[in-house]
């Protein structure tokens, strides 16, 4: 009995501190003769009492060092059968005591009970939201507020001037990321990841719906600009209404596109004129005359048809499609006709008709210089066969390509 009492006095040379996930306990172990128990495997049992009731029990099997010292973290031992978890201790309710048993070879001996005077903040003040494991601290059922005492989300950060999250890694080659996962990987959901790595910000997609496994980078942003998964990078949203750069790295704004289209449509060159009446102009045998018989202007988007001269005047240089149709008065004739535009100087693209044909048509694509005039010529190759042109059934039209 004397040996036990001596052991009680000599063993309980302790120091208690606090670790993130438990309570540090340090002691020097001596036998009943005052000799340090060095480099020896011993057994320690901790009981935490709420008042006089045990609310937690665990055991440790540490080895003393050269000086007989042991350092143990209360809360990380092996639970004694029937004991609740360390995280279940209600530190805010009643007074708590630490009861210590130590076995240095003669069985567990009670070396004393000490009251806890202070406990870590996370374990007290009635805060039972946080749970603890060896390497984890977590909360399961409540919102967490930083800068607010009325959080509305699992994590709610609030500040009068700036609320932010700073994710930092040592090297630009490392990765900072946030993953967004709705549902589980069942073959019908998509997950998203926002990341920064190698000086490139990325938005990636991981989906079971496709055959691709893992995250695919769908959008990347770096000093070269913005790039989608496929195609070229884009580094500018352009307001240039002329689209003159013809660039693969610029995206025109809605206004730029509209202005460009409006300009193109507004500057379109389309005209059509027609004649009126019958037998309005003679064309004698072996002569070629201008078919200036255009009394009615159907449309002229660029005001390019001169109604005084009955000629089309090209408003700008470029390629034009032209078409003309001339109707002759006689229904039965042996005359031979050719129809051409004056810009076809070699008559390479003219049209010929003979005998009882009463309409002659010609069309083609021509390059015109700005302000160049175009008119239609009709030739009668038959000597002594004088004819007349009809305005009705004749027209002249064209547009710029």
Domain boundaries, the chain: 2-132, 175-231, 236-266, 270-400
Looking at residue 39, what DSSP letter applies? S
* Identical fold between 2-132 and 270-400: no
- pLDDT the model gives residue 72: 93
DSSP code string of 118-181: ---GGGSTT---EEE-SS-EEESSS-EEES-SS--SSEEE--SS--------SSTTSEEEEEE-
Mean pLDDT of 20-43: 87
What ranges in 196-311 are assigned the alpha helix state H? 254-266
CATH 2.20.25.90 fits 2-132, yes or no: no
Write b or e for each residue in 101-112: b if 16 or more Cβ atoms lie within 10 A of its Cβ, otherwise e.
Answer: bbebeeeebebe
pTM for the predicted model, two decimal places: 0.41
How does strand 96-103 pair with strand 190-197? unpaired
How does strand 359-368 pair with strand 318-328? antiparallel
Here the tokens at position 22 are 């438990």
Q: Are 144 and 156 in contact (CB under 8 A)?
A: yes
Q: What is the dihedral of CA 251, 252, 253, 258, to 10 degrees?
A: -150
User: Over the stretch 267-324, which tens digit does the pLDDT of each residue have?
Assistant: 788 999 999 988 888 888 889 999 999 999 999 988 999 999 999 999 989 999 999 9
| Cα-trace Rg, the chain | 50
Rounded-to-integer distance, Cα 200 and Cα 210, Å: 25
Q: End-to-end CA distance of the chain, in Å?
A: 117
The answer on pLDDT for 365 being more than 80 is yes
User: Over the stretch 138-196, which tens digit does the pLDDT of each residue have?
Assistant: 787 888 888 898 999 888 999 988 888 888 999 989 999 998 888 776 666 778 889 99
pLDDT band at 354 (very low <50, low <70, confident <90, very high): low
Residues paired with 234 in a beta bridge: 226
The answer on pLDDT for 203 being more than 70 is yes
Q: Are 322 and 376 in contact (CB under 8 A)?
A: no
Q: Are 48 and 25 in contact (CB under 8 A)?
A: no
Beta strands in 208-341 (DSSP E): 216-222, 225-228, 233-234, 236-238, 250-252, 270-274, 281-283, 287-290, 296-300, 305-306, 311-313, 318-328, 336-341
Rounded-to-integer distance, Cα 25 and Cα 19, Å: 10
Mean pLDDT of 364-388: 90
The answer on pLDDT for 101 being more than 60 is yes
Residues 6+ away with beta carbon under 8 Å from 297: 271, 272, 273, 305, 307
Mean of the per-residue pLDDT values for the chain? 83
Second-level CATH architecture of 270-400: Sandwich (2.60)
Residues 6+ away with beta carbon under 8 Å from 202: 193, 194, 195, 196, 217, 219, 220, 221
User: Over the stretch 44-55, which tens digit does the pLDDT of each residue have?
Assistant: 999 999 989 999
From 224, 225, 317, select the one nearest 269 (Cα to Cα): 317
- pLDDT the model gives residue 69: 93
Rounded-to-integer distance, Cα 349 and Cα 122, Å: 96
345 exposure class (CB count in 10 Å sphere: 0-12, 13-18, 19+): exposed
């Amino acid at each position: 009995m004397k040996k036990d009492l001596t052991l009680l006095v000599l063993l309980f040379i302790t120091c208690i501190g606090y670790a993130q996930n438990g309570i540090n306990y340090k002691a020097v172990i001596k036998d009943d003769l005052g000799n340090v128990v060095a480099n020896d495997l011993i057994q320690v049992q901790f009981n935490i009492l709420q008042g006089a009731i045990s609310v937690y029990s665990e055991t440790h099997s540490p080895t003393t060092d050269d000086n007989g010292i042991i350092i143990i973290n209360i809360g990380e031992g092996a639970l004694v059968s029937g004991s609740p978890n360390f995280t279940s201790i209600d530190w805010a309710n009643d007074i708590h005591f630490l009861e210590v048993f130590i076995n240095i070879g003669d069985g567990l001996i009670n070396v004393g009970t000490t009251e806890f005077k202070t406990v870590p903040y996370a374990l007290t003040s009635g805060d039972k939201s946080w749970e603890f494991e060896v390497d984890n601290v977590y909360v399961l059922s409540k919102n967490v507020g930083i800068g607010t005492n009325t959080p509305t989300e699992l994590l709610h950060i609030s500040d009068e001037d700036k609320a932010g999250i700073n994710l930092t890694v040592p090297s630009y080659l490392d990765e900072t990321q946030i993953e967004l996962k709705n549902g589980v990987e069942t073959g019908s959901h998509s997950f998203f990841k926002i990341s920064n790595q190698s000086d490139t910000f990325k938005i990636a997609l991981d989906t079971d719906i496709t055959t691709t496994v893992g995250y695919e980078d769908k959008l990347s942003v770096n000093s070269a600009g913005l790039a989608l998964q496929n195609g070229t990078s884009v580094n500018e949203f352009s307001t240039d209404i002329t689209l003159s750069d013809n660039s693969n790295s610029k995206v025109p704004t809605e206004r730029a596109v509209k202005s460009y289209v409006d300009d193109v449509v507004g500057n379109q060159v389309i005209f059509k004129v027609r004649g009126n009446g019958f037998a309005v102009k003679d064309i004698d045998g072996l002569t070629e005359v201008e078919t200036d018989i255009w009394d009615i202007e159907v449309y002229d988007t660029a005001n390019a048809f001169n109604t005084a001269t009955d000629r089309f005047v090209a408003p700008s240089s470029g390629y034009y499609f032209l078409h003309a149709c001339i109707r002759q008065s006689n229904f039965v004739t042996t005359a031979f006709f050719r129809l051409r535009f004056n810009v076809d100087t070699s008559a390479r693209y003219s049209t010929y008709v003979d005998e009882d044909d009463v309409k002659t048509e010609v069309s083609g694509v021509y390059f015109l210089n700005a302000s160049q005039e175009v008119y239609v010529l009709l030739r009668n190759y038959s000597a002594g066969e004088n004819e007349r042109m009809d305005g009705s059934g004749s027209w002249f039209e064209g547009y710029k390509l």
